Chain A
């Protein structure tokens, strides 16, 4: 079972062509997948993804992946929270319902700090969680990668490296041979029918 299947790619039940999605290699060691990812990158593959049961450090560097959007999203949300929190208190205490407490100024800003701070944290936290899910494209119940044999181990004990079919260097035979050369436990070809993917 070490080699990929090479049946001609046919047609799905609902019509529509079945296309290759990726060639996926399974590893049993976190260090091995980092090394493999680096080698695949050196070989010239660009559309790579790795699936691991826990965050393996060094893997995103090996794949040259970085997404600063999440940090910006959180920052902007926090900033919005601060503005909303402070303007709410400003509007309430100085404009709409001014109340003179011991001759203090209407905009007694030091006493507005706690609520401004809480609003900042609240919106930034929602930004973090919703932003993380949105950029990751979640919730998404099904994904072609789930068709990989033994993929249920990706959340348990195994580390998967995928060379996606969209990669310019993707070639069914050559990629399979390359991944097998990296010492993968098992290499499989994953196909999907784009019409079945509803998201």
Chain B
């Protein structure tokens, strides 16, 4: 027990501040959904702007379907451009959600309770954005089902030795499991909303979603078993997804791609970018919706620490890339490094090192991790940096490979940018709809945290431990 308490670094007192009770939590979280007057003009402005970008996305998709992917900048020798950069970028952003909801659950990190719902929603919408790119890149998305193995009159099957088909399975499993995990987490909160809402139609709506949840101890027992196992399944899943994404590159023979460091380096980069996005969204939203007591500076501090740790791993990857180019003695690898550092896209390479190497260094200072403005700025650098990383890896490796006669340049077109900014708009649009219409913090897990906090208070204060808890409490 002593060891467990030492390992359990989460102190509930720091994770839930202010005078809280079960009903104050219901009020603070649930009423963001039930009391629609709490959403101010700001919500409409953001959703309106995001909706404009959604229309840009729809136009870009519409024109793409009409003309074909020739409207994009992809061409020989750079066959993978913005579509794959953005695919990898978005799916990486999604990974922080699963990390927070699954991996931190398995590690019994209670600080996940305040941000997991929100981060899972982020995962879901980010993976939706990611999925659009390969789907549209097929050129004929209406026959995208050809990607899946099904008996057909062509007598053909997918090639299961290719990482691209692994990707189809990984990403489609990932979005399905993420959606299941998210929905299961919402069921008890739907019941809370059902019981709190006044109008009959609203009660019925939440009632349908809650599916008759009544919080019986039998329900909770099976629920917790299922939820924990889902977390256990999601943890290797999220690691496999980005590893498989990295194998799309690593299995090929292109210089700069054919390296074994890719899977761990990609996974770390995904978590890095994802936490940057969590901070980007959490910092303004906790202020606008007065959730400072639920998402405390301690949460942001720890998110920043995860960002710093994963960022350092990523930067180690960059340094290793330079090292093994030299150490391999392979002229093509060596040329690739020279081309990255001094070629036509050198600006992207050096910006990447600044964004992901230099700009995260202030996070070593505790004061910076408590400074919201600084965190917000650093997160933006990280998001840009992680996008640049994919730019450096994808078009920069392709544009000058083995044969100088087939070298070329990659120029994205306005439609590439339309899709890119369009998906950003779609992501923001969906996130703000989510904030308005679903409880963005897990209500029942916060109540659990509150109970733990009270128990800790008893232990430290009146030296009287909670009665009859059968040792079931604490960090086990």
A62 interface residue (CB < 8 Å to B): yes
A117 interface residue (CB < 8 Å to B): yes
Q: A53-B447, A118-B170, A121-B177 are in contact. Are A154 and B218 (CB under 8 A)?
A: no
17 A-B pairs within 8 Å (CB atoms) are namely A34-B469, A51-B214, A54-B447, A57-B472, A58-B469, A74-B229, A92-B149, A117-B236, A118-B173, A119-B169, A126-B180, A128-B226, A128-B230, A129-B183, A129-B226, A136-B218, A156-B22
B18 interface residue (CB < 8 Å to A): no
- Least CB distance from B274 to A in Å reads 20
Task: Render A49-76 as a binary contact track against B, CB cut-off 8 A, 1 for contact.
Answer: 1111111111111110111001100100
Q: A54-B448, A146-B214 are in contact. Are A89 and B160 (CB under 8 A)?
A: yes
Question: A61 contacts B177, CB within 8 Å?
Answer: no
Question: B466 contacts A31, CB within 8 Å?
Answer: yes
B216 interface residue (CB < 8 Å to A): yes
B6 interface residue (CB < 8 Å to A): no
Question: A125 contacts B215, CB within 8 Å?
Answer: no
- Least CB distance from B2 to A in Å reads 19
Question: A50 contacts B160, CB within 8 Å?
Answer: no
Q: Pick from B48-56, B184-192, B284-292, B377-385 the stretch touching chain A.
A: B184-192
- Least CB distance from B110 to A in Å reads 13
Number of interface residues of B (CB under 8 A): 69
Q: Pick from A4-12, A137-145, A168-176, A177-185 the stretch touching chain B.
A: A137-145
Q: Which of B163, B184, B220, B447 gathers the greatest number of chain A CB atoms within 10 Å?
A: B220
- Least CB distance from B47 to A in Å reads 29
Contact of B233 among A89, A104, A128, A136 (CB under 8 A): A128
The docked-state distance in angstroms from the alpha carbon of A111 to that of B163 is 9
Task: Render B150-180 as a binary contact track against A, CB cut-off 8 A, 1 for contact.
Answer: 0000011111110101100110010011001
- Least CB distance from A71 to B in Å reads 6
- Chain A contact residues: helix, strand, loop or mixed: helix
B211 interface residue (CB < 8 Å to A): yes
A108 interface residue (CB < 8 Å to B): yes
B273-289 residues with Cβ-Cβ distance < 8 A to A are: none
Contact of B226 among A70, A89, A99 (CB under 8 A): A70
A93 interface residue (CB < 8 Å to B): yes
B194 interface residue (CB < 8 Å to A): yes
A115 interface residue (CB < 8 Å to B): yes
B404 interface residue (CB < 8 Å to A): no
| A73 to chain B: closest residue by CB | B226
Question: B149 contacts A71, CB within 8 Å?
Answer: no
Question: B215 contacts A129, CB within 8 Å?
Answer: no
A43 interface residue (CB < 8 Å to B): no
| B177 to chain A: closest residue by CB | A125
Write out the residue numbers on chain B whose beta carbons fall within 8 Å of the beta carbon of A59: 217, 220
- Least CB distance from A57 to B in Å reads 4
Q: A121-B237, A140-B212 are in contact. Are A97 and B226 (CB under 8 A)?
A: no
Question: B229 contacts A61, CB within 8 Å?
Answer: no
Question: B468 contacts A31, CB within 8 Å?
Answer: yes
- Least CB distance from A40 to B in Å reads 12
- Chain B contact residues: helix, strand, loop or mixed: helix
| B169 to chain A: closest residue by CB | A118
| A137 to chain B: closest residue by CB | B212
Question: B26 contacts A122, CB within 8 Å?
Answer: no
Contact of A104 among B161, B221, B234 (CB under 8 A): B161
Question: B212 contacts A92, CB within 8 Å?
Answer: no
| A36 to chain B: closest residue by CB | B468
A152 interface residue (CB < 8 Å to B): yes
Write out the residue numbers on chain A whose beta carbons fall within 8 Å of the beta carbon of B461: none
The docked-state distance in angstroms from the alpha carbon of A97 to that of B160 is 11
- Least CB distance from A130 to B in Å reads 9
The docked-state distance in angstroms from the alpha carbon of A67 to that of B222 is 7
Question: A35 contacts B212, CB within 8 Å?
Answer: no
The docked-state distance in angstroms from the alpha carbon of A150 to that of B39 is 30
Question: A97 contacts B157, CB within 8 Å?
Answer: yes
Write out the residue numbers on chain A whose beta carbons fall within 8 Å of the beta carbon of B229: 71, 74, 124, 128
A79 interface residue (CB < 8 Å to B): no
| B223 to chain A: closest residue by CB | A132
A83 interface residue (CB < 8 Å to B): no
A80 interface residue (CB < 8 Å to B): no
The docked-state distance in angstroms from the alpha carbon of A67 to that of B221 is 8
B244 interface residue (CB < 8 Å to A): yes
Write out the residue numbers on chain B whose beta carbons fall within 8 Å of the beta carbon of A117: 236, 240
The docked-state distance in angstroms from the alpha carbon of A21 to that of B292 is 44
- Least CB distance from A28 to B in Å reads 9
Interface contacts beyond A66-B221, A132-B225: sample of 4 additional A-B pairs, CB < 8 Å, sorted by A: A108-B161, A114-B170, A136-B216, A143-B214
Write out the residue numbers on chain B whose beta carbons fall within 8 Å of the beta carbon of A30: 451
Question: B166 contacts A62, CB within 8 Å?
Answer: no
Contact of A132 among B149, B184, B451 (CB under 8 A): B184
Write out the residue numbers on chain B whose beta carbons fall within 8 Å of the beta carbon of A153: 195
Write out the residue numbers on chain B whose beta carbons fall within 8 Å of the beta carbon of A140: 211-212
- Least CB distance from A80 to B in Å reads 14
B470 interface residue (CB < 8 Å to A): yes
The docked-state distance in angstroms from the alpha carbon of A118 to that of B222 is 24
